[in-house]
Structure 1
Amino acid sequence: MISDRALRFIGFISFFDHYCMPPMLLLLVAGTELSFAQAVELVAAYSLCYAVGQPLWGLISDRFGRLFVLRSSLLGALLGSLASVMFISFLPLLLARSLCGLMFGAMYPTLLTLLGDTRTGVEKAKGLSDLQVYSSLGTTFATLSAGILAATVDWRIVFVLPALGTVTALLMLRGVDEPAHGRKGINFSVALRPRNLGLYAIVFIEGALLMGLPKYIVPALQQSGVGIGLAGVLGCALAAGIIIGARLMRRLVGQFSRTWLIGIGGAILIFSFIPSTFFFSPSSLTITALLFGFANAIMHSSMQGWATDIAPEARATTVSFFVFSLFFGASVMTYLTADLAANADYNQIFGIGMVISILLVILACAAHAAWARKYADQP
């Protein structure tokens, strides 16, 4: 069975690569033949491939196995990372970063699926919390270090690190056997039955709030008068909230049902919007970021647990659609709020998020309670 250490490490490197490019965009432009618009296109292409590859990886995982997908994606990510180092012109870099997005995008949902295959109850909830912690650490390390490394060493070193990480992860997977329930065959219709579609719709809204709106924390901090460097540091309150919240979650899972945990995390999410909506200041925005992290650790990890349980016979495909819906919701929210962000109307953006979060929490709690009564042994 795959070790906890390997699960956490792969989660770390996948999120490091996902978030390493934005902090060094200007340095990438200075060191390559790219314009700033083309550098942004690399980030967009990465995100697109990351999202649209999810259903494909889920089908492959259910057909050929979880370890097959992990090893294949790690090898592909190694090739994509090395290619990212070798070129300075737009088209080759676009292809290289798109390949990385496709390959690194396979890892996190596969890790979730492995936890669903090999853990149950409280142990699975703790595993999901630990995975969130290390993924958040990967995000934080990328946010804080990518720009510094690109400025003091070279932009290429930022892409070399994930390449080294994939080699290390492949070595950690040597001799690891496929889980007993890791290869079930493709069962597409199960992953698209009505109760699954309802979950995807809920996580689409959750992604819009928990993945889409936190992007505005750092720009809002700058708008409130904080310098770029300090804004980045204060923005890391999101990661701190996830890490602290994940530790709290390990205590809560033994005391509350999943429906209650969704409600507790959802209440924190609703409250998180209040400081930034009504008291727009550096301190209030930092509090919002911290509470976002708490909500992510409690509510979203509970939603992940639901995704791994709702269709065990098509677990990988279901989880891949779940993750796709999450990131698609974030993309749609970013698109819909772009004009408000361009006008720096961040308090209005967070106010809209507060209203939507109330609807989300009611819908998520009611839907999970109904599902648990009908299909689960315990809610």
Structure 2
Amino acid sequence: MRQDQDLQSRAHGVPDSALRFIGFLSFFDRYGTPPMLVALSVGTSLSFAQTVQLVASYALFYAIGQPIWGMLSDRFGRLAVLRAALIGAALAAIASILFTNYLPLLIARSISGLMFGALYPTLLTLLGDTRTGVERARGLSDLQVYSSLGTTLATLASGALASYANWRLVFFLPALGCIAALYSLRKSAEPERSRSGFNFRAALRPMNLALYGIVFLEGGLLMGLLTYIVPALQESGVSIGLAGALGCAFAVGVILGARLMRRLVARFSRTWLIGAGGLVLCAAFLPSAFAPYPASYTVTAFLLGATNAIMHSSMQGWATDISPDARATTVSLFVFALFAGASAATYLTADLAQHGGYGQIFGFGLASSLLLVALATGTHALWRRKHPAS
């Protein structure tokens, strides 16, 4: 069995273990800083507001870089971009260790966001280049499991490492991880289909634009409103530590949902899976909209994770299929729309959150998720009729 997997990995050009590790690494770095903001402020000359700005700048450059990385990947190849980003991410992480003043640390974290932002979309594009059908869907599910593990470990461990050891460890570990990832790619060859040339117009076809609009809404509901789970738990009387632990129900939902997806993809169409995942999203917001209690918020976190594994992985598969002649650019714009939606939803609901209106926020999520289900399933069904082989 292991021999078959090794042969399969070599056929794909990149070992499966490398794909999973890089997915884990990218999410560990992305979610490692927020839990240690207080410790970072204490250990440096930065105010708490300035440490928050580090996270905001990281996220901004993470999003801004998406279209750029996609175009470079279509022009020069996936592994060329992946290796360049890993080298840049390692150097930026090391720079983050060396500086304690605001401006140089802000620049270092901004570059980190730019570089780490290239990793996950490039992994999605590699899966699109090298796998098809059920095999691709299972690869996406595996990638989600490991990225979710990276998120969970960062959430649980980075604050403790910064508080009880040293905040520099949280930046040092991703630097080591980048070096290890580069080593794991040392024998990997560029997939034959990885250089499609720069074709930005192909990534802006009407159906592509419809996909970006749908994922913008999905990002707002799935990622933007997920931000409020831990604050809502604290508002309901749960301690900070327990709120963080209960919030990890999201990761449990991703992992269990991904295991379920490995079975579902062989039996149901992607349109069906998008619709089913959308209904899980509706169910996620239902308890928190009408019963603002810790158990409700925990169920919401778990079902948001399951939605991520079922609906969002299906949307990712669609993004890798919709424009093979501009795959990396399309996937990067897809990821950009996802983060833009998350930011927009957080911005629009910030006043409600400030006044503890989490029931209203999740009620908004419930109503909007019904719209999302209709748009996503209807649009994918239309696209599928025009591309029956996809």
Deviations 1:133-177 (A, max 9, x none): 000000000000000000111000000000000000000000211
Question: Is 2:218 the partner of 1:201?
Answer: no
Match of 2:267 among 255, 258, 261: 255
Choose the corresponding residue for 1:3, options 15, 18, 27: 15
Q: CA RMSD in A?
A: 0.5
Aligned to 2:343: 331
Residues 1:237 and 2:249 are matched in the alignment: yes
Aligned residue for 1:63? 75
Distance 1:250 1:120 in 2: 14
Q: Where in structure 1 are there 5+ consecutive unaligned residues?
A: none
In structure 1, C-alpha distance between the alignment counterparts of 2:159 and 2:200, rounded to whole Å: 42
Indicate the residue corresponding to 2:326 in structure 1.
Answer: 314
State the shift of 1:358 in Å: 0.2
**In structure 1, how many angstroms separate the alpha carbons of the residues matched to 2:37 and 2:98?**
17
2:236 aligned with 1:224, yes or no?
yes
Paired residue type of 2:58: Y
Q: TM-score, normalised by structure 1?
A: 0.99
- Give the structure 1 partner of residue 303 of structure 2: 291
Counterpart position of 1:122: 134
1:175 aligns with 2:187: yes
The corresponding residue for 1:373 is: 385
Output the CA distance in 1 between the equivalents of 2:159 and 2:49.
Answer: 18
The superposition leaves residues 324-369 of structure 1 with CA deviations (integer Å, 9 ceiling, x where unpaired) of 0000000000100010010010010000000000000000000000
Q: Give the letter for the 2:84 counterpart.
A: S
Say which SS state the counterpart of residue 226 (structure 1) adopts.
Answer: coil
Give the one of 88, 113, 121 matched to 2:125.
113
Other-structure match for 2:225: 213
**Residues in 2 aligned to 1:28 and 1:41: alpha-carbon distance in whole angstroms:** 12
Report what 1:94 is aligned to. 106
Give, as a single letter, the amino acid of the residue that structure 2 aligns with 1:230.
Answer: L
Q: Paired residue for 2:35?
A: 23
> What amino acid does structure 1 have at the position aligned with 2:183?
L
Question: SS at 1:273's partner residue?
Answer: helix
Match of 1:52 in 2: 64
Structure 2 segments unaligned to the other structure (5+ residues): 1-12
SS at match of 1:53: helix
- C-alpha separation between the residues in 1 aligned to 2:220 and 2:16? 30
* 1:280 partner SS: coil
Q: Distance in 2 between matches of 1:4 and 1:66?
A: 15
Instruction: Say whether residues 1:349 and 2:357 are aligned partners.
Output: no
User: Aligned pair 1:131/2:167, yes or no?
Assistant: no
Question: Aligned partner of 2:133: which letter?
Answer: G
Letter paired with 1:221: L
Provide the C-alpha distance between the structure 1 equivalents of 2:96 and 2:167, rounded to a whole number of angstroms. Answer: 10
For these two proteins, the number of residue pairs brought into alignment is 378
Letter in structure 2 aligned against 1:223: E
CA positional deviation for 1:2: 0.2
What TM-score do the two structures reach when normalised by structure 2?
A: 0.96
1:74-97 deviation digits (Å, cap 9, x = unpaired): 000000000000010000000000
Is 1:163 the counterpart of 2:163? The answer is no
CA drift of 1:376 comes to 3.3
Amino acid at match of 1:93: L
Which amino acid in structure 1 is aligned with residue 75 of structure 2? R
Q: Which residue of 1 aligns with 2:8?
A: none
Question: Structure 2 counterpart of 1:100, which letter?
Answer: S
Alignment partners' CA distance in 1, 2:387 and 2:209: 15
Work out the CA distance in 2 between the residues paired with 1:238 and 1:266.
Answer: 16
How far apart, in 2, do the equivalents of 1:323 and 1:286 lie?
Answer: 26
Q: Give the equivalent residue in structure 2 for 1:272.
A: 284
Equivalent-residue separation in structure 2 for 1:76 and 1:267 (angstroms): 40
Inter-partner Cα distance in structure 1 for 2:352 and 2:73: 40
**1:190 aligned partner, one-letter code:** A
Provide runs of 4+ in structure 1 moved above 3 Å: none
Cα offset for 1:128? 0.1
CA distance in 2 between partners of 1:336 and 1:270 (Å):
20
Q: d(CA) in 2 for partners of 1:151 and 1:142?
A: 14
The residue matched to 1:174 in structure 2 has which SS?
coil
CA distance in 2, matches of 1:283, 1:331: 26
Distance in 2 (alpha carbons) for counterparts of 1:174 and 1:18: 25
Aligned-pair CA distance for 1:377: 1.4
